[in-house]
Amino acid sequence: MRPRVAINAAMSLDGRLSLNTGEQTRISSDEDMARVKRLRAWADAILVGVGTVVSDDPRLTRADGVLRVVLDTHGRTPEGALVMRAPPSTLIATGPDARVNAPVGVEVRRYPLDADGHVDLVPLLEDLGAMGVQRLLVEGGGGVIWSFLRSGLFDELTVFVADMVIGGRATSLAMGEGAFSLDEAVRLRSADITRIEGGFVLRYSPPEQGGPSAGRSAGPAPGDARPGAHGDGKRV
Ligand SMILES: NC(=O)c1ccc[n+]([C@@H]2O[C@H](COP(=O)([O-])OP(=O)(O)OC[C@H]3O[C@@H](n4cnc5c(N)ncnc54)[C@H](OP(=O)(O)O)[C@@H]3O)[C@@H](O)[C@H]2O)c1
């Protein structure tokens, strides 16, 4: 059974995840950072794409350690990246032919490719489930979020929409190929909206929770944006 998958991101009102320079920027307010911290406490594993590792070099750590997962088809994760530093442990999920010089504490697992030539999420999630991961937090970036949304392999999407506009061509919430017709657009069910410092937190579910495309997931729901949620890993 696949883990329960929560996607989280912070974006500007116009859907941008970063500045036009591509450099890391903090879109979240202090209150939103506290919400993200609670969400991380809920998760057994945190996943990002190699694009985020290359541009932001995130640490993705938590005081008690959490499994970090990087989607990296061709083994582009830089040797000096912070996710390569142990502890905690890191899983680099690659395609069948990638070569990665992984230090101790970093595991490389190879997966088949999907139709777009990226790591196929279905066997990866099955594998994570078999490893005991029940709750997976997907933290971006735009390419990875698109893949999870399009495949229906998620249980919740939470977005902090900051009171700001970035404009230009900066990475957006969902990149990838995108939809070319309304039929291809990913439909969502809005669950709730919460006003917090610096913006709104929007929470969505897939249209058919547990439907055939979503597959079955295990573990409790990530919860909501209210203070106190996620703190003990339970929905409030
Ligand atoms: N504001 C926020 O909340 C937030 C959070 C995270 C990131 N960001 C921003 O987002 C930007 C990075 O986003 P990005 O879209 O460029 O990169 P990304 O989504 O982090 O990574 C995309 C890359 O992951 C690899 N990948 C492997 N398997 C994949 C799969 N199944 N689906 C999709 N990708 C897969 C692909 O590269 P290969 O083909 O080489 O494997 C792909 O190009 C940065 O500017 C960062 O600052 C913002």
- Residue 11: which pLDDT band, with cuts at 50, 70 and 90? very high
User: What digits encode the pLDDT tens for the residues 106-126?
Assistant: 999 999 999 999 999 999 999
Token look-up 């088949």 returns 112
3-class secondary-structure state, position 79: coil
By most ligand atoms within 8 Å of CB, the mutation choice from 20, 73, 82 for ligand 1 is 73
User: What digits encode the pLDDT tens for the residues 147-203?
Assistant: 999 999 999 999 999 999 999 999 999 999 999 999 999 999 988 999 999 999 999
Given CATH 3.40.430.10, say whether it is the number of domain 2-218: yes
Q: Is 123's C-beta closer than 6 angstroms to any atom of ligand 1?
A: no
Inter-residue contact 77 to 100 (CB < 8 Å): yes
What is the model's pTM?
Answer: 0.91
Rounded CA gap, 178 and 150, in Å?
9
User: What digits encode the pLDDT tens for the residues 58-105?
Assistant: 999 877 789 999 999 999 999 999 999 877 799 999 999 999 888 988
Q: Is 18's C-beta closer than 6 angstroms to any atom of ligand 1?
A: yes
How would you class 15 by CB atoms within 10 Å of its CB: exposed for 0-12, middle for 13-18, buried for 19 or more?
Answer: middle
Q: Is 199's C-beta closer than 6 angstroms to any atom of ligand 1?
A: no
- Does residue 38 surpass a pLDDT of 90? yes
The CA–CA distances, whole Å, from 42 to 38, 46, 137, 225 equal 6, 10, 8, 13
CA 144 to ligand 1 centroid distance, Å: 5
By most ligand atoms within 8 Å of CB, the mutation choice from 8, 119, 125 for ligand 1 is 119
Inter-residue contact 197 to 27 (CB < 8 Å): no
Q: Is 27's C-beta closer than 6 angstroms to any atom of ligand 1?
A: yes
In the chain, what are the domain boundaries? 2-218
CA angle, residues 23, 186, 234, in degrees to nearest 5: 75
CA 9 to ligand 1 centroid distance, Å: 12
